[in-house]
């Protein structure tokens, strides 16, 4: 019983190693397929028994069990791995491009297996991605077989509503006739995936042509009847056939890398063929192809062609826009006139936009030298009519709404008539230039009238000022020549009388002499005021300085002038009124207040000019009767001058308290007043 003891001891080991993961194994392909991408990215443990169904050209191996299909990567392909073998795969899950897969760490061959029975599906089911990476079966009509490499080929199979590519790892044997045969193909459902995990181009991966079974052999081409171009895809009691048909027609256009266009019984037909020889207009050919519906009419796809004769090259039908919009000439050679509206270089040649009446259409020209036609040129265009867009009316009929013409060569486009020199662009430019000239003339007239008005205002102001100055100078001359001279004569007589007068009379004569001197001084100030002109300094500070010097007749009182701020030009009326208020205030202080100091302060502010005159004389009652006796003008004259300037006048005074007079004039008012006076 020693082995029981050993087993008991081993069961009591605290950290016995184990290969079993903490997370349960994923053991079915369906469990892996059901993982969301973020879940598969966690690297969940996988142990899967499945059968190998397909090897791709890289390192991916596809497998399938009874629940579904998946794949594994991560190990170099072993020579012993074969199709149909049963293997045990261990590894971890990962998201894959479309379906989650296995990052394999170990693959063990369990022995021969058996491929799962294929699931019959259609092309639409294949495109849904439901059976991606699973073994399926698809049935349809073989459309074409193309060799794509040394050991690869592509079979196009018409199944349901769309052709499907069958990618086969083998070149087709020469004895197999697969085109137009009903085929049953077994293979791996696959496809190309974009960066958003979306299936872009579904297809089948097939190991070889042994997985392609012919269910119904194709009919012999010689036994097929020739059908009319218009008989394609028409109603039949048994429904449309999936097999190819045979038509015959004369070639109207066969350009490199473009479809072939035929005309038969007066109708056009488009033929898509990758195996045909080059034909010339007028060649009669037989075409075997599969009918498909285009934008407006049926065409033949995956066609083969055979030359059967030659006829004269077909002439284009001369048509109108109305005729083309019926659709009867779709895919046929036509000729149409119109006016060139625009042209530009496209990826496949030059594209012209032609205007025919109220309808515009495009003409695609092949690469080659084209004349530089002027916009508005009348052109004749020959080419293949292609319906570009359609609409349906209230019933069941489809109606074309636009078309393009495909010219076969530069010779298909001819100039009929050059446009008039007066093109819309030139006419627009001429009208624009005329309008610009008219606007410029109106602006010039407006500015000229405004300038004339300004000059007229200035001239009137200067004329009025000159008249005033002339009159003032005349009055000054009259006063100087009459009253001032008479005062001088009176002063001389008083001096003569004083020299011989007795003492009692001498005092009286001296008082009269002083009175005459004061009248003479005031009269000289009046004359200087009347004669003031613009040839002297116009700075108000300098004018005040000159005025104070003339008013300073004795050492006392002291006249102190201060100017602060940056001077800026003042209109003439403002300068004149401020100067007169200052003169009047100083004169009144000298006459009546007996001050020892008179301070004049002129301040320039950005938006204001202020003049303050302060004395320490005897003062007066500003609101009393003495206010009306102050000098030549008095307070009434000062207020009148301030009102003319739009200024604020402040008077502060009291008995034995001195007098302060302040005048403040806004700068905006200066401009208005200056413009009114031409200054």
What is the average pLDDT score of the chain? 84
| pLDDT, tens only, 475-505 | 777 776 677 667 777 777 777 777 777 777 7
Dihedral sign from CA coordinates of 545, 546, 548, 552: positive
HSE-up (13 A, CA, CB side) for residue 366: 15
Backbone angle region of 476, left / alpha / beta, with phi > 0 → left and psi within -120 to 50 → alpha? alpha
Q: How far apart are CA 365 and CA 413, in angstroms?
A: 9
Domain 136-218, classified CATH 2.40.50.140, yes or no: yes
Domain 538-676, classified CATH 3.30.565.10, yes or no: yes
Highest mean pLDDT: which of 220-224, 538-542, 586-590, 669-673?
A: 220-224
| pLDDT, tens only, 17-48 | 445 556 799 999 999 999 999 999 999 999 99
pLDDT category at 538 given cuts 50, 70, 90 is low
Question: In the predicted model, is pLDDT for residue 72 greater than 90?
Answer: yes
Task: Give Cβ neighbours of residue 404 (< 8 Å, ≥ 6 apart).
Answer: 361, 362, 363, 364, 385, 386, 388
Q: How large is the average pLDDT for residues 217-240?
A: 78
Q: How large is the average pLDDT for residues 360-380?
A: 86
| pLDDT, tens only, 157-177 | 998 777 899 999 999 998 889
Question: In the predicted model, is pLDDT for residue 365 greater than 60?
Answer: yes
Q: Regarding predicted confidence, which is higher, 473 or 10? A: 473
pLDDT at 531: 60
Closest CA to 382 of 413, 343, 354: 413
pLDDT category at 237 given cuts 50, 70, 90 is low
Q: Which CATH topology does 21-116 take?
A: OB fold (Dihydrolipoamide Acetyltransferase, E2P) (2.40.50)
* 558-564, strands of its sheet edge to edge: 558-564, 597-605, 608-615, 659-666, 648-653
Q: How large is the average pLDDT for residues 197-207?
A: 94
CATH superfamily for domain 220-314: Nucleic acid-binding proteins (2.40.50.140)
pLDDT category at 16 given cuts 50, 70, 90 is very low
Q: Tell me which of 56-65, 121-130, 463-472, 589-598 is least confident.
A: 463-472
Cis peptide before 557 (omega within 30 of 0): yes
Q: Regarding predicted confidence, which is higher, 319 or 16? A: 319
Q: Which CATH number fits domain 316-419: 3.30.60.50, 2.70.98.10, 3.40.309.10, 2.40.50.140?
A: 2.40.50.140
pLDDT at 671: 45
Q: Give residue limits of the domains in the chain.
A: 21-116, 136-218, 220-314, 316-419, 420-533, 538-676
Q: How far apart are CA 312 and CA 304, in angstroms?
A: 23
Beta pairing partners, 60? none
Question: In the predicted model, is pLDDT for residue 268 greater than 90?
Answer: yes
Same fold, 21-116 and 538-676: no
């Amino acid at each position: 019983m020693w082995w029981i003891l050993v087993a008991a001891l081993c069961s009591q080991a605290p950290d016995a190693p184990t290969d079993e993961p903490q997370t349960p194994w994923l053991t079915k392909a369906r469990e892996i397929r059901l993982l969301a991408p973020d879940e598969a990215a966690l690297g969940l443990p996988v142990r899967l028994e499945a059968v190998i169904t397909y090897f791709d050209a890289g390192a991916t191996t596809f497998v399938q069990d009874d629940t579904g299909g998946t794949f594994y990567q991560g190990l170099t392909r072993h020579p012993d791995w074969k199709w149909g073998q049963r293997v045990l795969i261990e590894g971890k899950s990962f998201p894959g491009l479309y379906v989650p897969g296995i990052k394999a760490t170990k693959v063990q061959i369990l022995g021969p297996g058996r491929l799962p029975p294929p699931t019959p599906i259609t092309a639409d089911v294949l495109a849904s991605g439901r059976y991606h990476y699973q073994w399926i079966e698809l049935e349809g009509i073989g459309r074409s077989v193309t060799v794509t490499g040394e050991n690869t080929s592509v079979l196009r199979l018409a199944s349901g509503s769309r052709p499907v590519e069958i990618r086969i790892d083998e070149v087709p044997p020469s004895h197999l006739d697969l085109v137009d045969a009903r085929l049953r193909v077994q293979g791996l459902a696959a496809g190309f995936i974009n960066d958003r995990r979306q299936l872009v181009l579904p297809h089948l991966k097939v190991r070889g042509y042994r997985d392609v079974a012919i269910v119904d052999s194709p009919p012999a081409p010689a036994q097929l009847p020739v059908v009319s171009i218009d008989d394609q895809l028409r109603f039949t009691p048994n429904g449309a056939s999936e097999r190819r048909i045979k038509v015959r027609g004369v070639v109207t256009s066969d350009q490199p890398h473009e479809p072939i266009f035929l005309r038969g019984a007066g109708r056009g037909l488009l033929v898509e063929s990758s195996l045909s020889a080059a034909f010339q207009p007028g060649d009669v050919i037989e075409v075997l192809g599969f009918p498909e519906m285009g934008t407006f009419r049926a065409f033949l796809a995956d066609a083969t062609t055979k030359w059967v004769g030659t006829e004269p090259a077909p002439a284009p039908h001369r048509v109108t826009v109305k005729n083309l919009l019926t659709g009867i000439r779709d895919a046929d050679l036509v000729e149409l006139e119109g006016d060139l509206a625009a042209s530009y270089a496209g990826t496949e040649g030059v594209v012209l936009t032609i205007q025919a009446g109220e309808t515009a259409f495009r003409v695609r020209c092949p690469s080659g030298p084209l004349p530089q036609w002027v916009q508005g040129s009348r052109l004749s265009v020959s080419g293949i009519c292609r319906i570009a867009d359609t609409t349906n009316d209230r019933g069941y009929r489809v109606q074309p709404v636009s078309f393009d013409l495909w010219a076969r060569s530069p010779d298909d486009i001819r100039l009929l008539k050059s446009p008039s020199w007066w093109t819309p662009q030139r006419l627009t430019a001429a009208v624009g230039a005329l309008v610009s000239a008219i606007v410029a003339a109106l602006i010039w007239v407006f500015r000229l009238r405004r300038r004339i008005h300004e000059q007229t205002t200035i001239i009137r102001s200067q004329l009025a000022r000159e008249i005033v100055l002339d009159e003032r100078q005349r009055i000054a001359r009259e006063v100087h020549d009459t009253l001032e001279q008479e005062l001088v004569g009176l002063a001389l007589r008083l001096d003569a009388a004083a020299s011989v007068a007795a003492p009692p009379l001498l005092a009286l004569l001296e008082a009269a002499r002083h009175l005459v001197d004061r009248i003479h001084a005031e009269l000289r100030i009046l004359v200087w005021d009347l004669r003031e002109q613009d040839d002297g300094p116009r700075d108000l500070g300098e004018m005040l300085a000159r005025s104070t010097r003339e008013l300073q007749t004795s050492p006392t009182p002291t006249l102190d002038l201060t100017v602060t701020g940056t001077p800026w030009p003042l209109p003439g009326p403002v300068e004149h009124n401020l100067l007169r208020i200052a003169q009047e205030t100083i004169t009144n202080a000298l006459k009546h207040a007996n001050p020892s100091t008179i301070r004049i302060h002129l301040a320039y502010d950005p938006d204001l000019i202020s003049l303050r005159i302060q004395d320490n004389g005897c003062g007066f009652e500003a609101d009393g009767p003495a206010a009306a006796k102050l000098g030549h003008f008095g307070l009434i004259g000062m207020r009148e001058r301030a009102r003319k300037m739009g200024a604020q006048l402040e008077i502060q005074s009291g008995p034995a308290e001195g007098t302060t007079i302040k005048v403040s004039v806004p700068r905006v008012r200066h401009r208005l007043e200056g413009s009114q006076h031409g200054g």
